[in-house]
Structures are given as C-alpha cells and as structure tokens.
Amino acid sequence: MHISRSLALPAAALALALTLTACSSDNGDTTDPSEAGGVVVTDMFGDVEVPANPQRVVALGWSDAETALALGVQPVGASDWLGVGGNGLGPWVDETYDTDPTIVGTFDVDMESIAALAPDLILWTRSTNDKAVYDDLSEIAPTVAAPPGTDVAYGTTWDGQTEIVAQALGKVDEGKKLVDDTQALVDDTIAANPEFAGKTVAVGTLYSGQVGAYVRGDTRVDFLESLGMENTPAVQNLAQPGAFSIELSEENISALDADLTVMFPIGTGPEVITDNPSIQGLPSARDGRLVVLGDQNLSNAFSAASVAGTRYALENAVPLFAAPLKG
C-alpha cells in the first residue's frame, strides 16, 4: 500500500524552522536535547533526540493518540485509523481532549498539513515502517517510529507501543504502570480460560468482497496467541515477509477453519460474513466455533491494540471467544 509524501517542507514550515534556528543561534544555545533534559529514544531506525516535555505532539501512528492520552498528554494532531469520526476516539477510551486535535491523514501522509501544526514531536509508532516517509517526517520534527525489531507493518504490540511512547513523552513510570496493570489482566484472563491453551485460531476479515486473514505479527493474532492459542498453520504458512495479512481466494477460504475462527467485516455489516456460503461452510462455522464481531466498537477496540483497546477486548471479546471452546 503506497503512502504519498512530499519531497520537501512547505515554505511556511521551512521559514518557521529557519526562524527558530536563527533565534537559537542568536542565543548561543547549541545544547543537545538530551543534555537539556530531553531524552534519546531508540526506535527501529536508530536514535531520536526528543526534547523534554513536548507540547505539540502529533500522533500519526495507529493508536498513538490514545496511548499519549493514557499517559496524560493531549496531541494537537491525530490520525483516525479506525474511521471513528469526530476526535478519533472510540468509546473504549476513557480519556478525552480539552481541545479536539486536528485530524490528519492515515495512509496518505500530508507533510504540509503536519508541518502546519508546528509539532515538537511526531509519534509514528505503528505504521507501514516506510523509511522514506519517516525521513520526511523527521525533517519536520523529531519522529519516533516502531520499537527496534519490529519487522511487520503495523506490528507494534500494545505494550511495545506504550513503552516507546512513554519514553518519548518522559512518562516512563506511568507507562510501566499501564503495561503492568494491563498484563495482570491478561494473566487473569489466561487463568480463567484454560480452554484457550493449545487451540488453533484463525482471524479473518471481509473487505470490499475480498476475504483476508491475519498472520503472526498482526496485533489481533498476537492478542489471541498471548492468551495461549496458536495462529493456524494453514494461514501462517502463507505469510509473506513484512506483511501482517494475506488475501484468500475462494479456493483457499478453507484455511480459515480452526478450533476457533474469528472474523469481522470492514466497511460493511456482519451479514457479508454471516450470509457468505463459503465462510458458513467452514467446519468451524457449522460447529458453532465461528465468532463474528458484528459490533463495530468491539471489532475496532480489538483492532486498536492499545492499552484501552486491549482492556476492552479482554472484557468484551474474550467471553465470545471462550463460549464455543468451553462446550
């Protein structure tokens, strides 16, 4: 999927950058950000010098905005990856804004719009991991990408995202508490659902008539595997390097059969799945082990892969996953 990008900063942003540089030079201030109380964050592309207490954060990556909010920072710009509308926050997020952010693009990164927000920090921690886009963003402001070792697009885990955003915002202790508290909920869920252990699972979707399935490294698969299940080899063996999903033709929809099959629609209602003869012909569907997440808020929270989304999914989606496996 291509992400458009501009090759240079817009004139206004460049002028602002030059003005700030001139002011800094006039004051004789050449202090390294880390020496002035800032931090150096290591992401997948290297070290990033982040100023202390950033005030104008643009949360560009998937769930970066709700992660920043959970840490007490309100972005001035945010992307609405799940198409929630309004300020981009779903009902699974407890925090809100005093002043709604400017909503910026997702797949099409408009560098001019981002630069116009005059950010002092850009969060891009769950994204395509496109180095060229990252370089352009870094010309505007310090940009923090996915954690080191992330090798799948949009593959940043909920805890990895929380930790690296917390580092960038100078909220390490707060981030650790969010991670520890959420992991405790995960551990409690595992203990309460021993039937998950060793079961195969397939996670699929239907979008514009195309059936797809998610592979290891996708946050939805990672969530279910963290509970003790295993992504079904019939899907996992079709994974491509760097990709978080695969497309399934009519002939290989059978790959979605597993001990548990989880599906949700994108852009339509659940009937595209519940009325699909090929999907309903799967053994898992015939045996009542197909769970369709028809509630858009629930499927969005399941897909958000933030602390808030993970907690919402643990409370509301896990009982749906457990029911067909308990019998």
Long-range contacts of 187-196 (CB under 8 A, 24+ apart): 189/227, 189/314, 189/318, 190/227, 190/228, 193/227, 193/228, 193/318, 193/322, 195/322, 195/325, 195/326, 196/227, 196/228, 196/229, 196/321, 196/322, 196/325
Mean pLDDT to the nearest integer, 27-31: 40
C-beta separation of 253 from 192 below 8 A: no
Q: What pLDDT score does 3 carry? A: 31
Nearest partner of 235 among 211, 219, 209, 210, judged by Cα:
211
Nearest partner of 264 among 251, 274, 252, judged by Cα:
274
For tokens 């950058």, name the residue.
Answer: 17
Q: What pLDDT score does 268 carry? A: 93
Phi and psi at residue 291, to the nearest 5°: -110, 120
Tokens of 141: 């402001």
Neighbours of 323 (CB within 10 A): 13
Question: Residue 13 above 50 pLDDT?
Answer: no
Q: What pLDDT score does 6 carry? A: 31
* pLDDT tens digit sequence for 104-158: 988 889 999 999 999 999 999 999 999 999 999 999 999 999 999 999 999 999 9
Question: Residue 10 above 90 pLDDT?
Answer: no
CATH 3.40.50.1980 in the chain, residues? 11-20+30-171, 193-326
Question: Residue 277 above 60 pLDDT?
Answer: yes
Segment holding 246, helix H or strand E: strand 245-248
* pLDDT tens digit sequence for 45-80: 999 999 999 999 999 999 999 999 999 999 999 999
Q: What pLDDT score does 224 carry? A: 98
Q: What pLDDT score does 11 carry? A: 35
* pLDDT tens digit sequence for 148-201: 999 999 999 999 999 999 999 999 999 999 999 999 999 999 999 999 999 999
Nearest partner of 64 among 265, 307, 312, 228, judged by Cα:
307
Question: Residue 220 above 90 pLDDT?
Answer: yes
Chain-centroid distance of CA 33 in Å reads: 28
Nearest partner of 291 among 257, 317, 261, 253, judged by Cα:
261
Confidence category of residue 22, pLDDT binned at 50, 70, 90: very low
Question: Residue 213 above 70 pLDDT?
Answer: yes
Q: What pLDDT score does 262 carry? A: 98
Class of domain 193-326: alpha beta
Q: Give the CA-trace dihedral at 177, 297, 65, 308, to 10 degrees.
A: 0
Compare 289 and 326 and report the one with higher pLDDT.
Answer: 289
> Looking at domain 11-20+30-171, does it have CATH number 3.40.50.300?
no
pTM: 0.87
The span from the first CA to the last CA of the chain, in angstroms, equals 41
Q: Is 214 exposed, middle or buried (0-12, 13-18, 19+ CB in 10 A)?
A: buried
